Chain A
């Protein structure tokens, strides 16, 4: 017998909503780059445009994996 569809709906939504609420959008990333760039130029003699900033959210990656496992 097919599982009650509400369980699938809930799981899928939980994952989507969690993912989208924790992703860094371009606007926020811009602010982060600017703020961190300002801090770095305080200590290092470098132009802001010569800094590359990358953010890795470790905790988030872990959860994404869990979601994938639970729905498929």
Chain B
């Protein structure tokens, strides 16, 4: 059965696009047919992050206003055979698109794809309504910072009023060291404050920025965030993957690094 999953947030820049791209690649690697839709109209991001900016012919606005057929706007990612993207438009004026057109498009896409991931713009205005109008699940992305958590609560409050949508929380850019020093909210604090089921946690990882410079995802690469995305994908397909205790894990991770060179010296 197909599912529409929207990634949204109150505050901007918390990692919606990054999450949509990496979870999209991750799900496609689990042999699911996936399409990503950028609904951030006016500011295209998703195609840029994914390195597909040179392949755009038509965009979401063209589809929703009937300027082209759906197929003409779909970009197939050659690196991942199960993954496609419909990019957004770079326009200044808000085009005359309707919620009904978006819902019709989503229904049509459901026939060909297992997962339709929607990258929402920040905020709670018309772009938000468009992004969530056909969602089965909405994932609210937040960082552990006060303004982001506060805005996540505003979005969650709006979403609770909508029927037939299940809401989840995703904590992005989690910094273990800051938490240990008592200067960043813990995962449990955020869950308690926002009272929403946690889909996953993504650690802050500079490799994300480096990958995006190349227009590539984190999947299949080294970097602490890769496992985080993989876990999120496995949870989405229904596996019971626990949230690791990141604060404990750090110690084990360090131990592992210290042991390895020592062993090598003994052998050689």
Contacts and interface: CB of A to CB of B under 8 A. Distances in A.
Q: Answer whether A and B are interacting partners.
A: yes
A17 B153 contact: yes
Contacts of B186: 6
A16 to B, nearest CB: 6
A21 B193 contact: no
Contacts of A9: 146, 185
A33 interface: no
A6 B185 contact: yes
A6 B157 contact: no
A17 B10 CA distance: 14
Q: How large is the interface on B (under 10, 10 to 19, 20 to 34, 35 or more residues)?
A: 10 to 19
A12 B145 CA distance: 12
B159 to A, nearest CB: 13
| SS of B interface (majority) | helix
B150 A5 contact: no
B182 A4 contact: yes
A28 to B, nearest CB: 10
A13 interface: yes
B97 interface: no
Interface in A1-57: 4-7, 9-10, 12-14, 16-17, 20-21
Interface in B173-226: 179, 181-186, 189, 193-194
Nearest to B144: A9
Interface residues of A, number: 13
Contacts of B194: 17
Contact of A17 (B150, B183, B185): B150
Contacts of A14: 193
A72 B156 CA distance: 28
B258 to A, nearest CB: 29
A32 B85 CA distance: 45
A46 to B, nearest CB: 32
Contacts of B181: 4
Given A5-B183, A6-B182, A13-B146, A20 B189 contact: no
B182 A17 contact: no
A17 B149 CA distance: 9
A60 to B, nearest CB: 16
Contacts of B182: 4-7
Contact of B189 (A4, A6, A16): A6
Interface in B28-75: none
Contact of B183 (A4, A13, A20, A21): A4
Interface of B: 146, 149-150, 153-154, 157, 179, 181-186, 189, 193-194
19 contacts: A4-B182, A4-B183, A5-B182, A5-B183, A6-B184, A6-B185, A6-B186, A9-B185, A10-B185, A10-B189, A10-B193, A12-B146, A13-B150, A13-B153, A17-B153, A17-B194, A20-B153, A20-B157, A21-B153
